[in-house]
Amino acid sequence: MGTFQIDFGDAAQPERIIGIDLGTTNSLAAFMDLTGPEIIAAPDGARIVPSVVALLEDGSLIAGNAAKARLAQHPLETLYSTKRFMDRAASPLKIGNRELTPPEAGARILLELKNNAEAFFGEPITKAVVTVPAYFNDAQRQATKDAGRIAGLDILRLVNEPTAAALAYGLDKRNSGTIAVYDFGGGTFDISILKIQDGIFEVLATNGDTHLGGDDIDSLLIQIALEDIATEWGAPISDDSAAVETLRQAVIKAKEQLSFALFTNIDLEYNGKRYQREITRDLLERLIAPLIERTLAPCRLCLADAKLTYENIDEVVLVGGSTRIPMVRKAVEALFRSKPHTELNPDEVVALGAAIQAGILSGEVKDTLLLDVTPLSLGLETMGGVVTKLIHRNSTIPASETEHFTTAVDGQTNVLIHVLQGERELVKDCRSLARFELTGIEPVPAGLARIEVKFLIDANGILNVSAKDTRTGKEQSVEVKPSYGLTDEQVEAMILESLTNAENDIRERQVREARVESDRILGALESAKQSDAWFELPEEDKAAIQTAHNELLLAYHGDDHRLIQAHMDKLDKASLKLAENMMNSAVRGALKGTKI
* Active-site residue set: 21, 83, 161, 183
Long-range own/partner contacts, residues 582-587 (CB < 8 A, 24 or more apart): 582/528, 582/531, 582/533, 584/533, 585/531, 585/532, 585/533
**Where in 450-517 does DSSP place strands (E)?**
451-457, 463-469, 475-480
* Cβ neighbour number for residue 434 with a 10 Å cutoff: 16
Give CA–CA dist 218/235, Å, rounded: 22
> What Å distances lie between residue 555 and 514, 558, 564, 568, CA to CA?
10, 5, 5, 10
Q: Chain-centre distance of CA 207, in angstroms?
A: 11
Who contacts 548 (Cβ-Cβ below 8 Å, separation ≥6)?
A: 567, 570, 571, 573, 574, 575
322 by Cβ neighbours in 10 Å (0-12 / 13-18 / 19+) ranks as buried
Q: Chain-centre distance of CA 267, in angstroms?
A: 36
Helix (H, G, I), strand (E, B) or coil at 219: helix
Candidates 224, 163, 149; CA nearest to 196 is 163
Q: What are phi and psi of 23, to 5 degrees?
A: -95, 170
Q: What is the 3-state secondary structure (H, E, C) of 400-437?
A: EEEEEECCCCCCCCEEEEEEEECCCCEHHHCEEEEEEE
Residue 340 carries which DSSP code? P
Who contacts 383 (Cβ-Cβ below 8 Å, separation ≥6)?
A: 408, 516
Indicate the pairing of strand 26-33 with strand 17-21: antiparallel
Identify whether the C-beta of residue 528 lies closer than 8 Å to the C-beta of residue 534: yes
Candidates 400, 460, 392; CA nearest to 137 is 392
Candidates 428, 359, 430; CA nearest to 393 is 430
100 beta partners:
93
Give CA–CA dist 587/195, Å, rounded: 44
Identify whether the C-beta of residue 37 lies closer than 8 Å to the C-beta of residue 199: no
Torsion of CA 160, 164, 170, 172, to 10 degrees: 20
CA R_g for the chain: 27
Q: Identify the sign of the CA torsion 319, 320, 324, 325.
A: negative
Enumerate the H helices of 98-189 as residue ranges: 102-121, 138-150, 161-168
* Cβ neighbour number for residue 8 with a 10 Å cutoff: 8
